Amino acid sequence: MLKSLLIANRGEIACRIIRTARELGVRTIAVYSDADSKALHVREADEAVHIGPSPARESYLVGEKIIAAAKATRAEAIHPGYGFLSENADFAQAVIDAGLIWVGPKPDSIRAMGLKDAAKARMIAAGVPVTPGYLGEDQSPERLQAEADAIGYPVLIKAVAGGGGKGMRLVEAAADFRDALASCKREAASSFGDDRVLLEKYILSPRHIEVQVFGDSHGNVVHLFERDCSLQRRHQKVIEEAPAPGMTEFTRAAVCSAAVRAAKAVDYVGAGTIEFIADGSGHLHPDRIWFMEMNTRLQVEHPVTEAITGVDLVEWQLRIASGEPLPLHQHELSINGHAMEARLYAEDPATGFLPSIGPLTEFDLNDGLIRVDTGVEEGDEVTPFYDPMIAKLIAHSRDREGAIEFLSTALCSSSVWPVRTNGAFLFRALADPDFVSGKLDTGLIARKGDAWLPPRLPSEEVLRGAAGRLIEDEPGVAPRLAGFRLNAPQRLQTVLDVHGTRVPVDFAAPAENWYMRHFDNRVMITESGQTFAIRLARFDGAAGAAAGDGALLAPMPGRVTSVEVAAGDTVAKGQRLVTLEAMKMEHGLTAPFDGIVAELNVTQGSQVSEGTLLVKVEKAEG
Ligand code: ADP
Ligand code: ADP
Ligand code: MG
C-alpha cells in the first residue's frame, strides 16, 4: 500500500478520499485555493498546500502547481477525485512523468474515452451498441444542420469534451437548431475550452443506466452492477440509486458484460463508469440500451454501489494504484438490498434553482439513518467559485421503499440556513407516486418540476404552532382576538413575518413533523426539509421594494458571457438580453416586458458582483 497521497480536489470528494486513506494508514495532503483556506478538506488532511487564487482555472485546474505541491510534500501518489483534472490525460501523464503514482487509468485509456465522439467510434469497433448520430469532423453549421435534419428531431447537440451535464442542447425542431448550436458552442468553449460538438438522436423516455467497472494492472476487469441515474434536472443527476428499478437478470447480464467489454477495449485500470441510455418506454431490454460515454474516474454517485456491494471503492482504487490485484472476483460480488443517494445543492428552487451562496450559519443534516458525505460544516461558507453540491445523502435498506423512507426522514429533519438548498424539492420528489413506483425517465423532473417546487411559506398548521410558541416566548405581545361572529369559536390571531411576507395566523395546537429553534436573534422553523426564519410582524410601515421597474440585477456574482442587445434597442418581453455564467452555469436574463434598453452597463467578459445593475429596460412609450 502506498504511504502518502495528495488529493487534487476539494469539497465532499476530497473529504471522502481522506477518510479511506486515513483508515488505510496513508498520509493525506490537501491542496486549496484562497477561497478554501479554511475548508473542511484542508482541516481534515494531515497537511495542506496553498495552490493559488479562488477561480479553479488558477488553482485546482493548474496541473503544475499540483505536481509541485506533491513534490514539496513528498507525496507518493495523486488522487484526482472527480471533475477538475480527473479526466485530463495530459495531467495524468505529467503526474507519471514526475515519478508519482496516478490513482486512475492509463492516460491512453482516458484519451480513448475522453472525447465523446472518439469514444463512440471506439465502442462501435468493440461491438458495443451506441446511440445513432453524427460524429464527423466537419463542424460547419450548415453541415451540422443537415446532419441533424437527417437524424430527425428531436436531436441532442453535445459538446464532444462535455461533462457534468454541461454543453448539451435538446433541439425539438429544425428551426431551433442554429440558436441551440451557437449557445452550446459558447458554453462548450467557456467550460471545456473546445467547442466541437456531436449530434445524437434523442431517445424518448430515456433512462440513464450506468455500470461501475473496475480493472487492475494484471488485466482483470469486473463490474459492480448498475446504477440508475434517471432523475435529472437539466441533464444533471439529482437522485441516483442501485440497483435500477425494473432491472431483470437477463438485461443486467447483457448490459454489465457490455460494460466489461467496453473497459477491456481500452485496457482499463482503476474505477470507471460506463454510461448507457435506455429506452424507458417499455421494460428494460438489451436491445434498447446504448452506450453513451465512459467516465474514467470515480463517480459522484459511487456510494450507492458501495452500499449494495459492501465494497469501499476508494480503498480498491488505492490498492490497485499500489499494484495489487482486484480484491474480489466477479462471482464474489453480489447485490445486497437497495441504496439511494440525493444530491443536496446550494441552490434556491424558488428562484429557478439559482445558486445560493453565503455562510452556513446553520448546517444540520440528520445522519442518524443515513450516510452523509459532505465537504462543509456549520459555520463554513459556500462561495461562488465551485460546484454548488454541498452534500450527498445516502440511504441503504432491504428494499427500495425502505431506502426512500430513510432518505425522506433524513431530509425532512435537515436544516440549512441562510443558504438555500434543494432539500425540500428532493423531499417532494421522493414522495411522488411516479417516482415511488419506479416510473423514471430523465424528463420526470421537467414534467413534475412545478409540483415539486417547495411552497414559499410553511404550512398553515406549522405557522399556527409556531405562532403559539412565539407568543408564549414573548409575553409582552398580546395576541388579538378574532372571530367575534355569533356562534363562531373564538380564535387567537397574530401576524407572522416570514422572509418579509406578513401572514395572519390563528394559533392552536402544534402540528407534527416540524421543529423550531432560536438561533442568534432569529427563530427558525423547519418543515419537510425546508428552513424558514420567522418573527412576529412589527407594523413599521416599510413598503416592499418596488418591483417590475425593468432593472435587471445580477442574481449572483459571475461573468458576462454574452450581451445580445445594445443601448437603445427595442426589445420584446422574454427576449434574452445578457447571459451570465456563475458556478459553471449559464443564466439568461430576459426582458420583463416590451420596451427599450435604457441602460446597458456591461460588455462581454465583464465580471459582476451580486446586485450589479446589468441592464435597464423601460416601457416603450405610447
Ligand atoms: P455528461 O458528460 O454531461 O454526463 P452524457 O452524454 O453522459 O453527458 O449525457 C448526460 C445526460 O443527458 C444523460 O444522463 C441523459 O439524461 C441525457 N442524454 C444524453 N444522451 C441522450 C440521448 N441520446 N437521448 C436522450 N437523453 C440523452
Ligand atoms: P457523475 O460523476 O455522476 O458523472 P456528474 O457528471 O454530474 O456526476 O458530475 C461530475 C462533474 O461535476 C464533474 O465533471 C465536475 O465538472 C462537476 N463537479 C461536481 N462536483 C464537483 C466538485 N465538488 N468539485 C469539482 N467538480 C465537481
Ligand atoms: Mg454523463
Measured in angstroms, how far is the CA atom of residue 268 from the centroid of ligand 3?
18
DSSP state letter for 475:
T
Confidence of residue 529 (pLDDT cuts 50, 70, 90): confident
* Mean pLDDT on 525-531: 86
* Mean pLDDT on 573-587: 83
How many degrees, rounded to 5, is the angle at CA 265 between CA 259 and CA 266? 105
CB of residue 200 inside a 6 A radius of ligand 1: yes
* Mean pLDDT on 153-172: 92
Residue type, 444: L
Measured in angstroms, how far is the CA atom of residue 384 from the centroid of ligand 3?
24
CB of residue 275 inside a 6 A radius of ligand 1: yes
CB of residue 240 inside a 6 A radius of ligand 2: no
Q: How far apart are CA 428 and CA 7, in angstroms?
A: 35
Residue with cell 431490454: 285
Measured in angstroms, how far is the CA atom of residue 360 from the centroid of ligand 1?
33
Condensed to tens digits (0 to 9), the pLDDT of residues 474-526 reads 655 545 444 334 444 445 567 788 877 777 776 655 556 677 887 766 788 88
Edge to edge, the sheet with strand 570-571 lists 551-553, 613-619, 595-600, 570-571
> Is the pLDDT confidence value at 113 over 80?
yes
- 585 vs 483: which has the higher pLDDT: 585
R_g of the chain computed on alpha carbons: 26
* Mean pLDDT on 292-308: 97
* Residue 377 CB contacts under 8 Å (≥ 6 apart), including other chains: 40, 360, 363
pLDDT at 230: 97
Cα dihedral 104, 109, 113, 115, rounded to 10, equals 100
pLDDT at 548: 54
> Is the pLDDT confidence value at 401 over 50?
yes
Chain-centroid distance, C-alpha 413: 21
Beta bridge partners of 290: 277
**Ligand nearest the Cα atom of residue 160:** 1
Cell representation of residue 440: 423514471
Confidence of residue 66 (pLDDT cuts 50, 70, 90): very high
Instruction: Indicate which atom in ligand 2 lies nearest the CA of residue 275.
Output: 4
CB of residue 300 inside a 6 A radius of ligand 2: yes
Measured in angstroms, how far is the CA atom of residue 252 from the centroid of ligand 1?
20
CB of residue 279 inside a 6 A radius of ligand 1: no
Mean pLDDT of the chain: 90
Confidence of residue 546 (pLDDT cuts 50, 70, 90): very low
By most ligand atoms within 8 Å of CB, the mutation choice from 211, 387, 585 for ligand 2 is 387
> Is the pLDDT confidence value at 386 over 70?
yes
- 206 vs 550: which has the higher pLDDT: 206
Measured in angstroms, how far is the CA atom of residue 13 from the centroid of ligand 2?
10
In angstroms, the Cα distances linking 593 to 250, 287, 573, 611, 618 are 56, 49, 4, 20, 9
- Residues lining ion ligand 3 (Cβ < 5 A) are 275
Cell representation of residue 239: 437522485
pLDDT at 587: 80
CB of residue 82 inside a 6 A radius of ligand 2: yes
Q: Which of 297, 400, 420, 428 is catalytic?
A: 297
What 322-328 contacts at long range (C-beta under 8 Å, 24+ apart), as own/partner pairs, is: 322/1, 322/2, 322/101, 323/217, 324/1, 324/216, 325/216, 325/218, 325/220, 326/214, 326/215, 326/216, 326/220, 326/222, 328/222
Beta bridge partners of 534: 498, 523
> Is the pLDDT confidence value at 544 over 60?
no
- 352 vs 338: which has the higher pLDDT: 338
Q: How far apart are CA 47 and CA 530, in angstroms?
A: 36
Instruction: Indicate which atom in ligand 1 lies nearest the CA of residue 158.
Output: 6
Instruction: Indicate which atom in ligand 2 lies nearest the CA of residue 210.
Output: 3
What is the end-to-end Cα distance of the chain in Å, rounded?
A: 77
Assess contact for 384 and 584: CB atoms under 8 A.
Answer: no
By most ligand atoms within 8 Å of CB, the mutation choice from 13, 82, 299 for ligand 2 is 82
Measured in angstroms, how far is the CA atom of residue 295 from the centroid of ligand 2?
11
pLDDT at 210: 98
- Which ranges of 515-574 would DSSP assign to H, the alpha helix? none
CB of residue 237 inside a 6 A radius of ligand 2: yes
- Residues 451, 457, 458, 460: is their CA dihedral positive or negative? negative
Confidence of residue 607 (pLDDT cuts 50, 70, 90): confident
By most ligand atoms within 8 Å of CB, the mutation choice from 208, 292, 440 for ligand 1 is 292
* Residue 113 CB contacts under 8 Å (≥ 6 apart), including other chains: 119, 122, 266, 293, 294, 296
Condensed to tens digits (0 to 9), the pLDDT of residues 360-374 reads 999 999 778 899 999
Quick check: is 297 catalytic?
A: yes
> Is the pLDDT confidence value at 465 over 70?
yes
pLDDT at 68: 98
Beta bridge partners of 273: 212, 295
Assess contact for 27 and 4: CB atoms under 8 A.
Answer: yes
Nearest CA residue ID for atom 18, ligand 2: 83
Confidence of residue 447 (pLDDT cuts 50, 70, 90): very high
Q: How far apart are CA 41 and CA 360, in angstroms?
A: 16
Q: Over pLDDT 70: what percentage of the chain?
A: 93
Nearest CA residue ID for atom 22, ligand 1: 202
Cα dihedral 5, 6, 11, 15, rounded to 10, equals 20
CB of residue 192 inside a 6 A radius of ligand 2: no
Which of 11-15, 163-167, 211-215, 537-541 shows the lowest per-residue confidence on average (mean pLDDT)?
A: 537-541
Instruction: Indicate which atom in ligand 1 lies nearest the CA of residue 203.
Output: 24
Domains belonging to the chain, first-starting first, are 4-103 (3.40.50.20), 115-131+205-336 (3.30.470.20), 133-201 (3.30.1490.20), 337-437 (3.30.470.20), 460-539 (no CATH), 544-618 (2.40.50.100)
CB of residue 233 inside a 6 A radius of ligand 1: no
Residue 492, burial from CB neighbour count under 10 angstroms (0-12, 13-18, 19+)? middle
**Ligand nearest the Cα atom of residue 166:** 1
Q: How far apart are CA 171 and CA 202, in angstroms?
A: 9
Measured in angstroms, how far is the CA atom of residue 361 from the centroid of ligand 2?
25
Among 179, 169, 244, 242, residue whose Cα is nearest residue 200: 169
> SS3 of 516, please?
strand
pTM of the predicted model as reported, rounded to 2 decimal places? 0.82
Measured in angstroms, how far is the CA atom of residue 556 from the centroid of ligand 1?
28
**Ligand nearest the Cα atom of residue 227:** 2
**Ligand nearest the Cα atom of residue 278:** 1
**Ligand nearest the Cα atom of residue 296:** 2
pLDDT at 481: 41
> Is the pLDDT confidence value at 167 over 70?
yes
> Is the pLDDT confidence value at 619 over 50?
yes
Among 331, 341, 339, residue whose Cα is nearest residue 403: 339
Condensed to tens digits (0 to 9), the pLDDT of residues 226-248 reads 999 999 998 899 999 999 999 99
Assess contact for 526 and 415: CB atoms under 8 A.
Answer: yes
